[in-house]
Structure 1
Amino acid sequence: MTEHKPRAMSAREGERCAMPRPGRVALGWMAAACLAAVPWAHAASPGAATGPGVSAPVATAAPPKPAPVQGPVLVPPVGMAGASGVTAVPIAGDAPPRLMMSAPAVTANKAANGGVLSLPVVAPATLAAAPGAVEFVTHGRFRDVPVYKPKGEVQSVVLMLSGDQGWTPATSRMAQSLAAQGALVAGLSTPALFASLEADLGDCAFPDGDLENFSRFLQAYEKVPGYYPPILVGDNEGGALAYAMIAQARPNIFAAAMSIEFCPVLELRKPLCKGEGVHFSRRMSESRTTAKRIKPKDNAGVVLLPATRLSAPWVALQSGMLTPFARRSGPLCEARATQTFIETISGAQSVALPAVQPGASGGTGAQPVTASEPFKAAFAKLNAQRKPPPPPPPAAVSDLPVIEVAAQPGTSSELFAVLLSGDGGWAGLDKEVAAALSKSGVPVVGVDSLRYFWTPRTPASAAADMDRLVRFYAARWKKAKALLIGYSQGADVLPFIVNRLPAASREHVALAVMMGLGKRADFEFHMTNWVSSSASGLLILPEVQKLPTGLGMCIYGKDEKDSNCPSLDPKQIQLVKLPGGHHFDGDYAKLARIILEGARGPGSASR
C-alpha cells in the first residue's frame, strides 16, 4: 500500500514543511501554511477552545528579536510604530497581553494598508513587563504557537499537545512548569492540528513529520546549540496523539512521550497512516447500533490499539478520574481499560496521579497536575533517559552548524564527505545518506543548511567556509579526497561554492554531487521558500557550466518538475535519473552507492 506524506509543499521541496517517508505520494497543500514564522501578539480571548494554532495575521517582515528579559518574551508583529488607538492590555491568569485598537484606529489602519489590518509595533519593554507574556511563533501547520523559555540554558525541548479544549490557562501552567525544569516548550493546539490535517487531501495523516519539522525550525529560530529530538507531552486527547506519534515515527525522531489522563481515542476524522507501528480501528458513530464498520464519511475518530513496539520511551500519568473528554469517549477511557492498554505495551510505564486533580484538562480539582510531584518526577526521568546531544564541533569550526558522522569501525576509504543539507535542516535524506556513506568507511561532516543560511551568506563567504571545512577535516581524518555533496538547497549553492574554492582545496575534491538540483540558488533562508521555489535567487545553470568537466554529478528524480539536471551537458556532468521525485523514493542506500561509484569516474555510477 502506498504511504502518504504529511503534506506536499511544492514539487521542489517536500522536506520544507514535513519530513517525508519512503514511498509517500504528494497530497494537496495550502499555500499559506508555511509562509511565516513571525512572532506576534496573540489577540484571542484567554482559554478559548480553539486556543493557539487556529489563525493569525501574517506580517510582511519580522522585527529584530529583542534581548531576553526575565521570563518569556513577547515579540509584537510588524506594523506602524506609535500608531494611535493602540494599547497592550495585560490579561488575567496565564494568557498573554492583547493588542487593542479602537474602532477609528482600525478604520485608519486598513485605509493606510490597502484594506488589510496591520497590527503595529509596540515597544518590547512595554509588552515584556506584562504578566504572562510569551513569544508566539507561526510555522507550517502551527499558527501563533506560544513558546515558553527556561531561565538558563535549554536542557530539553518539549512539544506540548493540548487537550480537546485547546490551549487553556491550565495547559499554560503545565508548560511553565516544564520550562522551570529547563525545557524550551512550544504549546500546540491539538484541535487546530486536527482541523489542519483534515483539510488536506489524502485519506490518512502523518503528523509526525509536521511535528519534527516544527521542532527543527523552532530550535534553529531560538538558536539552540545542537539539536534536541523533542519530548512530546500530551494532555488528555493530546496524550493519545503523543502515544500515536511514537508508535508511528521512526526511531530518534522523538526523544520520549508523556501522556496525561491517557485514553486511546482520537477525534480525528481522517485516520493516521499506518507508518512504522501505529495501529487503530475506526470508531463507530454513537448513532449507529450495528457492528458494521463505519465508512470514512461517517467517521467519528479512531480507536488506538496497543503497538508491538514504540520508537521512544512512553509514560502515562493516570488519576483514574474521567475528564469531560473521557466521559464522551465512553468505556475505552475507564481506568481498568486504559491500564490494561498500557500494560500490554512492552516498556510502557504508568504513574498514578493524585485522584483529586482533573485540573490538567480544565477542571476544578484542588491539585493541578503541575503541582504534583509525580508529574515533575516523570518528566525528569524521561528527560534523563534521552540520548545526550552530540558533542560540540571542534573549536576550529565551532561557528558553523556542523554534524560529524564517523566512519563505522572496521571500514576504510580514502574519501571523506561534506554534505550540505536541504533547507529543512539536518534530517531525513541527509542523515540517511550520511549513515550509508559511513558504512562504506566514508566519514561525513554535515552542514545544517537551515541554521547555516539563517545568517545571510554570499557565494564567496560560503566558499570560504567550505575551504575551511575541507582543509580541517582532510587533516583531522587524514583523508586525501573529499566528496562535496549537496541536497536541495545544498545542491543549489554547491556549484557556486566549488567554483570559488582556492586551488589547494579544490585539488582535494573528487566529486561535487548535486542531488535534487533546482534552477535558482538562495544564500539566505526565506520563509516563502517553504512553499515554492525561489524566483529571485541566482541562476544555477551558468554556474554549473563553469565546473571542470567530470567533476560534477547531478542526481534527479524522474518525477521532479523543476530540476536543472536534464538541461545539463552529459559530456560535462554525470547525470543520474532515479525513480520517484525529490526524495528518490527513499532509497538512500542506493544514493550513497551511486555517489561512491561516481567518484571512480564518469560512467561508473549505476542507475
Structure 2
Amino acid sequence: MIRDLAQFMNKTLSMVKTGPTSVFICLFLMLFYIKPALAIKEEVISHKTFGKTVIYIPQTIPTSVALFVSGDGGWQAGVINMAKNLALQGALVAGIDARQYMAFLSRSSSSCYYPAGDFEQLSMMLQKKYKFSSYTKPVLVGYSYGATLVYGLLAQAPAGTFKGAIALGFCPDITLKKPLCKGNGLKSHVLVPGKSYYLERTEKLAAPFIALNGIKDETCPFQATKTFLTGMPFAELVTLPKVGHGFSIADNWLPQFYQSYKKIIASRSAIEQKNAASVQRMPDKLITTLPLNLLPTPSSDQPLIFMMSGDGGWTSFDQSLAESFAEKGMAVVGLDAQKYFWNAKTPQQTAAAIADAISYYMQNWKKKKFILAGYSFGACIAPFIANRLPENLQHNLSAVCMLSPDERADFEIHVADMLSIDGQDEPYNVLAEMKKARTFKLIVLFGDDEDPATTKQFRQETSRVVTLPGGHHYNNDYTGIVNYVIKSL
C-alpha cells in the first residue's frame, strides 16, 4: 500500500487552475515552497546505512535536530517541504528516504531489526559533522510509513535516546521482512509472514509521542488510531478535522505540526524529571561541570557508587541500574558520558573532576567507601580514572566495576566513519591500564551474547570476568547485575 505525498503538487496545481481562490493559493505556494528554499541551505550526504540523505541547515545556529523519515514513496514533494519548514524553526533536519533504509534493513542477517541504533549513530555523526558544541537529543519525525517506524524506534530504544517523536498519518502496521527487536519494550505480531507486522501498544514510552492524524484519513482510520493511543503513557493524538492521509493543504496541519515540535523540544524526559526532583530535595549540590544524576539513599553503611554511562548518554539502562543499586542502599552519582565527553577531555582532567565529585558526596552522604563503575564507554575509561585518583581516595576504593568494556578507550565521543569524516583511532589501551590497577579489585562483566573474542582478551588479564545472560544490555536484568556486584565485593 503506497502512503506518501507523491500527488501533492498535482492536486494543488489543479486547485490553482480551477478554483475561485487561485490568487490566494498561488501566494500560499510561494510562502510554502519558495520561502523555505531561500531561507535554508541544503546538502546531500552519502551514507552506507541510509543512502543519499538530504540535510536541511537553518541560517542561524541550529537549536534542535530532527531525523525525518519519509513515506514509502520516498523523499519527495510534501515531506521535503515539511522538513524545510522545520528547518525554518531552527532545526537541523536529516531527510531520510524510507525506501533506501528499507533496502538496507532487508540485507541484514539479524533475526530482528534495531533501527534505534542506526538513528542514534546518524544523529551523533551529523552533530559532529556540523560541529555542535554539545550533543542534542534528536526528535524523530515520520510521515505515513515513517510515522510507524518512528513509533517503533521510540518504543525499542532506551529512554533518553531520543527527545520524542512526531508521527504524521500514523497507524501501527508496517511493511518489514523481519520484526523490529523488542529492545526496551516494543512488542509486535505478524500480519503477513515475511512481509508485515503490527506494532503493539506499549506502556514503556518515556518521551513524548505525538500523532497528527486527519479525520478524513482513509488509509489510517482516525478512530482506530485514537483507540490505539488512548491511555498510552506519553502519547498524544492531535486531531486534524480537514486532513486526509495526504496532508496536502498546509494551513490545515502546519500550525499543529509546529506546536507539536515545540512541545517536544520544551519537554523533559522521565529521567530528567526524576533527577530534577532528586536534586530539588537535596540541601546542598556540588557546583561542577560534570553532568551528574544523583540517587541518594538513607543508608550510610553501603558504599557510594560513582557510575559512568555509555556513549549513548544516561539512558533508562543506566537509570534503572542505578535505581537497582539504590534499592540495596547504595547511593549513586551518575555521570552522563555522552554530554561530558562530547568534547575531548584528558584522563588527568577527568580524574580530577570525578575526584572532586566523589569526595564531595562521600562527605555529604557520610560514606566511607566507594565503587567506581562504568558501562561500555564508561567501563573503558574506568581503570584510567582509578589509577589517577588522589591517594586518599584510592584507599577508599572498594572495587572498579566494568560492564561491557572494549580493548581500547578514548576520552571523546567518536562516531563510526560512515561519512568519511576525518577521525582517529581510540588511543588508550584498556588492557594495559588494567595491569596498572592490580591494587584494586576488578569486576568485569559481559553479556554472554557479546563478542567472545573481547571477553577472552579480558579473561587473560583478570580472573574476575563473568558473563551474564543477554547481550549488551544484559536482558535488562538490573537486579542480576547488582546482585553479582554485591556478591563480588
Q: Give 1:437 deviation, angstroms.
A: 1.4
Q: Give 1:201 deviation, angstroms.
A: 0.8
CA–CA distance in structure 2, aligned partners of residues 526 and 225 of structure 1: 13
Higher mean alpha-carbon deviation, 588-597 vs 204-213, is at: 204-213
1:551 aligns with 2:441: yes
Q: What residue ranges of structure 1 are gaps of 5+ in the alignment?
A: 1-46, 50-91, 97-129, 284-294, 323-330, 600-607
- Is the CA contact (8 Å cut-off) linking 2:380 and 2:406 kept in structure 1? yes
| Aligned partner letter, 2:256 | P
Q: Give 1:241 deviation, angstroms.
A: 2.0
The residue number in structure 2 matching 1:444 is: 332
Q: Give 1:499 deviation, angstroms.
A: 1.9
The residue number in structure 2 matching 1:208 is: 116
- Is the CA contact (8 Å cut-off) linking 1:423 and 1:449 kept in structure 2? yes
State which of 143, 146, 151 in structure 1 corresponds to 2:55: 146
The residue number in structure 2 matching 1:397 is: 288
The residue number in structure 2 matching 1:353 is: 240
CA–CA distance in structure 1, aligned partners of residues 314 and 382 of structure 2: 16
CA–CA distance in structure 1, aligned partners of residues 415 and 162 of structure 2: 25
| Aligned partner letter, 2:385 | I
| Aligned partner letter, 2:201 | A
State which of 142, 150, 169 in structure 2 corresponds to 1:261: 169
Q: Give 1:483 deviation, angstroms.
A: 1.0
SS at match of 1:343: helix
- Structure 1 segment 418-567 matched on structure 2, within 5 A: 418-427=306-315, 429-528=317-416, 537-557=427-447, 560-563=452-455, 564-567=457-460
SS at match of 1:485: strand
Higher mean alpha-carbon deviation, 142-151 vs 170-179, is at: 142-151
Change beyond 3 A, Cα 1:157–1:457:
closer
| Aligned partner letter, 1:278 | K
- Is the CA contact (8 Å cut-off) linking 1:519 and 1:540 kept in structure 2? yes
What is the aligned-residue identity percentage?
Answer: 31
- Is the CA contact (8 Å cut-off) linking 1:306 and 1:342 kept in structure 2? no
Name the structure, 1 or 2, with higher relative contact order (CA <8 Å, separation 6+): 1
- Is the CA contact (8 Å cut-off) linking 1:318 and 1:351 kept in structure 2? yes
SS at match of 1:469: helix
- Is the CA contact (8 Å cut-off) linking 2:216 and 2:222 kept in structure 1? no
- Structure 1 segment 528-607 matched on structure 2, within 5 A: 528=416, 537-557=427-447, 560-563=452-455, 564-570=457-463, 574-580=464-470, 582-599=472-489
The residue number in structure 2 matching 1:307 is: 201
CA–CA distance in structure 1, aligned partners of residues 377 and 224 of structure 2: 48
Change beyond 3 A, Cα 1:338–1:274:
farther
| Aligned partner letter, 1:509 | L
Q: Deviations 1:400-420 (Å, cap 9, x if unpaired)?
A: 3x2313135x55544222222
Change beyond 3 A, Cα 1:500–1:343:
closer
| Aligned partner letter, 2:238 | V
Q: Deviations 1:151-197 (Å, cap 9, x if unpaired)?
A: 5784x654332222333353343234445556564433322222222
- Is the CA contact (8 Å cut-off) linking 1:234 and 1:242 kept in structure 2? yes
Q: Deviations 1:236-278 (Å, cap 9, x if unpaired)?
A: 2212223344455565555544322234442333333456343
1:133 aligns with 2:46: no
State which of 201, 211, 216 in structure 2 corresponds to 1:316: 211
1:241 aligns with 2:149: yes
Q: Give 1:200 deviation, angstroms.
A: 0.8
The residue number in structure 1 matching 2:257 is: 375
> What TM-score do you get using the length of structure 2 for normalisation?
0.72
| Aligned partner letter, 1:318 | N
SS at match of 1:141: coil
The residue number in structure 1 matching 2:10 is: none
1:406 aligns with 2:315: no
CA–CA distance in structure 2, aligned partners of residues 442 and 139 of structure 1: 44
Change beyond 3 A, Cα 1:150–1:265:
farther
SS at match of 1:243: helix
- Is the CA contact (8 Å cut-off) linking 1:220 and 1:451 kept in structure 2? no
Q: Deviations 1:55-109 (Å, cap 9, x if unpaired)?
A: xxxxxxxxxxxxxxxxxxxxxxxxxxxxxxxxxxxxx95898xxxxxxxxxxxxx
Bigger helix fraction: 2
Q: What residue ranges of structure 2 are gaps of 5+ in the alignment?
A: 8-32, 419-423
Aligned-residue RMSD, C-alpha: 4.2
| Aligned partner letter, 1:397 | T
Change beyond 3 A, Cα 1:214–1:438:
farther
Change beyond 3 A, Cα 1:449–1:220:
farther
Q: Deviations 1:360-408 (Å, cap 9, x if unpaired)?
A: 4xxxx4x32686433334444555665484559967322x3x2313135
- Is the CA contact (8 Å cut-off) linking 1:370 and 1:376 kept in structure 2? no
CA–CA distance in structure 2, aligned partners of residues 160 and 545 of structure 1: 46
Higher mean alpha-carbon deviation, 159-168 vs 520-529, is at: 520-529
CA–CA distance in structure 1, aligned partners of residues 327 and 136 of structure 2: 23
The residue number in structure 2 matching 1:27 is: none
Change beyond 3 A, Cα 1:419–1:168:
same
The residue number in structure 2 matching 1:339 is: 223
CA–CA distance in structure 2, aligned partners of residues 162 and 281 of structure 1: 23
Change beyond 3 A, Cα 1:462–1:384:
closer
Q: Give 1:280 deviation, angstroms.
A: 4.1
Q: Give 1:589 deviation, angstroms.
A: 1.9
SS at match of 2:361: helix
The residue number in structure 1 matching 2:191 is: 282
Change beyond 3 A, Cα 1:209–1:439:
farther
Q: Deviations 1:301-326 (Å, cap 9, x if unpaired)?
A: 34x3662646255443233556xxxx
- Is the CA contact (8 Å cut-off) linking 2:387 and 2:436 kept in structure 1? yes
Change beyond 3 A, Cα 1:281–1:597:
closer
The residue number in structure 2 matching 1:416 is: 304
1:197 aligns with 2:105: yes
- Is the CA contact (8 Å cut-off) linking 1:151 and 1:180 kept in structure 2? no
- Is the CA contact (8 Å cut-off) linking 2:295 and 2:322 kept in structure 1? no
Q: Give 1:577 deviation, angstroms.
A: 4.2
- Is the CA contact (8 Å cut-off) linking 2:62 and 2:92 kept in structure 1? no
- Is the CA contact (8 Å cut-off) linking 2:144 and 2:168 kept in structure 1? yes
| Aligned partner letter, 2:240 | L
| Aligned partner letter, 1:317 | L
CA–CA distance in structure 2, aligned partners of residues 539 and 204 of structure 1: 33
Change beyond 3 A, Cα 1:569–1:245:
closer
